[in-house]
Amino acid sequence: MTNKISVLNMIKKFLKDDKGATSIEYAIIGSLLSVVIVGTMPSLSATVKGLFTAIAEQF
């Protein structure tokens, strides 16, 4: 009987523990941010290329 109680107590402690939640949240935010950066690179690179081309044509 005491083994069942200690196992239940361990499960309760585990479910209440949220120490790792913050690091997981930061990992998700970092992943989403990297997806956004990678997604905007093609349009950004085309804009920068056009800017440098326009500057180069002035000389």
pLDDT of 3: 67
pTM: 0.51
Instruction: Quick: pLDDT tens for 1-57.
Output: 566 678 888 888 888 877 777 888 899 999 999 999 999 998 889 899 999 999 999
Q: Which residues of 5-43 are buried (b: 16+ CB within 10 A; e: fewer)?
A: eeeeeeeeeeeeeeeeeeeeeeeeeeeeeeeeeeeeeee
